[in-house]
Amino acid sequence: MAYIDSVALGVGQFCTNPGLVFALDWPDLEDFIDHAATAICKKETQTMLTAGIAGAYKSGIEARDASGAQQIATGVKGDVASGALPVLYRVSAEQFMATPHLTDKIFGPTSVIVTCRDEDELIAVTRTLEGQLTATLLMENDDADIAIARRLLPVLERKVGRILANGFPTGVEVSYAMVHGGPFPATSDSRSTSLARLPSNDF
């Protein structure tokens, strides 16, 4: 599953990995969550860049567990140095908005699926977000999804540095024109990019 591959890419150490997913409570939602849980169960514990980063990841997971978010799946546990176990969570939009620290970025292979009852709740929870590096709209080319996208875009344009459609932010090509930021605190200077200039096949 592309979503979970993006979450776990590089042991989740890409700053643009999808740590939050906002999903409408439509008939296909449970199938999506089941597929995501199955996919993350196949991801193995891997070594992070440093012991300090691994320790911060573990602390972040413990804090998220304590927040009441539902842990729905984990990866394959392994005894590796500075290891990070992939973890997937689920939470309602109501609980998400009532628990501000659920928006905190955890640097590592974890993500939260936030379920929204309807479009209005989806818009409301999006408005509560602080600045983000990227946002992705996963949508069909039909009237219903296009209408939702039209409502979301004016909100997202003020929240994020880059908006994608039907793709994942960990797989984009780096270019000089890319502004890798967004409203504070995503970045403090919108005139430049924090991404290194790399060949696309190395990113």
Query: Quick one: pLDDT at residue 127?
Result: 95
- The CATH class for the domain spanning 1-130 reads alpha beta
Q: Are 70 and 90 in contact (CB under 8 A)?
A: yes
Instruction: Give alpha helix (H) positions in 41-142.
Output: 51-66, 93-98, 119-127
Query: Quick one: pLDDT at residue 201?
Result: 35
pLDDT means per 10 residues, the chain with 203 residues, are 94 91 94 97 96 97 94 96 97 95 92 97 94 90 94 93 87 62 57 44 33
Residue range(s) in the chain whose domain bears CATH number 3.40.309.10: 1-130
Q: What is the pTM of this model?
A: 0.85
DSSP single-letter state for residue 59: H
**Among 188, 119, 180, residue whose Cα is nearest residue 155:** 119
End-to-end CA distance of the chain, in Å?
A: 19
Phi, psi of 153 (to 5 degrees): -55, -45
